[in-house]
Amino acid sequence: MTETIRPALRLRPSEQRGILLLGDLLAGAVAVAGALYFWKRYALFQMIATGMPPNRAERLLEVPVPFWFYLLPLAWILLMIELYEPHAAANWGRTLRGIALAAVLGLMGYSVVFTINLDPNSLPRIAIGGFLVLAAGVTLAWRAVYIRIYTTSGLARRVLVVGAGKAGTTLAAVYTGLKPRPFTLVGYVDDDQQKRGKAYEGLRVLGGTSDLTRIIEDLHVSDVVVAITGEIAGTAFQRILDAQELGVEVSRMPILYEEMTGRVPVHHLESDWVIRSFVDDVRVSGLYDVSKRLMDLLAASVGLALFVLTYLPLALATILDSGRPILYGQTRYGRTGKIFKIFKFRTMRQDAEADGATRPAEINDPRVTRLGRLLRRTRLDELPQFWNVLRGEMSTVGPRAERPELIPAYQRQIPFYRARFLVKPGLTGWAQINHGYAATVYDTVVKLEYDLYYIKHRTLWMDLRILLRTISTVVGLRGR
């Protein structure tokens, strides 16, 4: 009797994010306790050093701790928002930068609050400093343990790809670009005799589907990924069922692609994918729609208030830098084909499209003015669009609002492009925070893959994550 395969540790991205959140929350709680202890020890030492009797000094320190201090672990999680994508969390360089940035932003935030509200009864700065130092140190230690566990448990998950065609090699190409790799890709099986023994993207074709059970047992495979976009032969289908009965987890290529990239593989989807994904599988609740609209109204109120406060200085700076106009308008393509007009602070020269040809913005676009670069990095140029959010033409989170002149060409060249118009366009979005500008058709394909992933998986929590990462991008001047 064939032995059942021992299941490998399988943690989906959502489960990994949950573990990261819990670990960081505990690290923040430890930092609060440590900061309070060291603050009282430090204050006691200072009082005794000035000649105060120890008993009296201890009585003076018996003051209630402000309630907000116990909420600092939640604030710490928000500051760490950049590090809740599994691939980012498993990267040492990004982890170090993220923790350092969180500590700096926390110190800057407290400095602003302390300057505005000089309450003599508030907790001394030494306690906040202690919290930030301890939170950074404990979080770094915990994240080091996570990275170690992530890489070792990931290596225990061994994946075999059924199909060495375009879909299978695309998976392998994405896999080779991951650092660190979340699992081991052992190779392919394919029934094409001409592919046997050959290597594609650095992985060999180990045999046909008739050899599937043997390969699984010999190589201790824990997962089988079906990367066949056409019909599956009856015998191949039976071998895959046999693998599943052994305890191996079987999934489809698009699922693993989404797990690795946070995108949907538009060139490897079946023709009815939109119907199955957005009609059958992903029907957002009415509660989500109402909650998101309330979030949009709140964000629009704040955004328009900032627009009013910044208009005069930005208008003056624009005139001094490159003259008039201050704002410029463009038509955009919205949900279900609705055309609407947006306004932005002008960031390009007046003759940016003097010949009338529509061109998408590029990285380091020479048409951008000196002030325009700063406005784009801080996203201040988009403040007028909160009016469109208030009117319901846009949302705070969604695909980028595209210019109608560019859409016909994209629809001809990119499959499923129209699916991005199933939701309102957004000021920010999953594609915007992960990819930036789309100056070529290839870049547009990648951004569409991010957009479709967002549409398929959108929740209020995902919207909040995107907004917080956008704020982090703005504060870090990493906008484009």
- Joined together, the tokens standing for residue 424 give 């309102």
Residues 255 and 292 in one domain: no
Look at 41 and 246; give whichever has higher pLDDT: 246
Burial degree of 162 (CB within 10 A; 0-12, 13-18, 19+): buried
Q: Which two tokens stand for residue 206?
A: 């180990």
Domain assignment present for 95: yes
Tell me the three state secondary structure of residue 422: helix
Q: Looking at the structure, do residues 179 and 99 belong to the same domain, yes or no? A: no
Assess whether 193 and 60 both reside in one domain: no
Give a yes or no: residue 388 inside a domain: yes
In-domain check, residue 387: yes
Domain assignment present for 280: no
Lowest-confidence pick of 109-118, 122-131, 288-297, 437-446: 109-118
Contact 92, 147 (CB under 8 A): yes
- Of 12-16, 174-178, 466-470, least confident by mean pLDDT is 12-16
Residue 271: inside a domain: no
Is 69 a domain residue? yes
Asked if residue 278 belongs to a domain, the reply is no
Calculate what percentage of the chain has a pLDDT beyond 70. Answer: 83
Question: What is the tens place of the pLDDT at every residue in 36-95?
Answer: 888 777 766 666 666 666 565 555 556 677 788 888 999 899 888 888 877 778 888 888
Instruction: Tell me the average pLDDT across 94-119.
Output: 79
CATH number at residue 215: 3.40.50.720
pLDDT score at 281: 47
Nearest to 259 by CA among 422, 456, 436: 456
Claim to verify: residue 132 and residue 49 sit in the same structural domain: yes
Residue by residue, DSSP assigns 356-388 as S------TT-TTB-HHHHHHHHHTGGGGGGHHH
- Which among 276, 174, 156 has a CA at the least distance from the CA of 221? 156
Paired sense of beta strands 158-162 and 184-189, if any = parallel
pLDDT number for residue 1: 41
Beta-bridge partners for 395: 426
Q: With 50 as the cut, is the pLDDT of residue 424 above it?
A: yes
Bridge-based pairing state of the strands 339-345 and 327-333: antiparallel
Same domain, 321 and 440: yes
291 and 229 part of one domain: no
- What separation in angstroms does the CA of 199 have from each of 189, 191, 203, 439? 11, 15, 5, 33
For 372, the domain range is 286-349+361-475
* pLDDT digits 0-9 by tens, 132-145: 999 999 999 999 99
Question: For residue range 402-420, what is the model confidence (pLDDT) as tens digits?
Answer: 989 888 989 989 988 988 8
Question: Which amino acid, residue 131?
Answer: F
Q: Are residues 22 and 41 in the same domain?
A: yes
In this structure, are 245 and 374 located in the same domain? no
What pLDDT is attached to residue 295? 94
Residue 332 burial by Cβ neighbours in a 10 Å radius (0-12, 13-18, 19+): buried
Domain limit, last residue, from 106, 125, 154: 154
Report the pLDDT averaged over residues 341-370.
77
Residue 426 shares a structural domain with residue 291: yes
Q: What's the structural domain count of the chain?
A: 3
Residue 207 Rama label (left phi>0; alpha psi -120 to 50; beta) = left
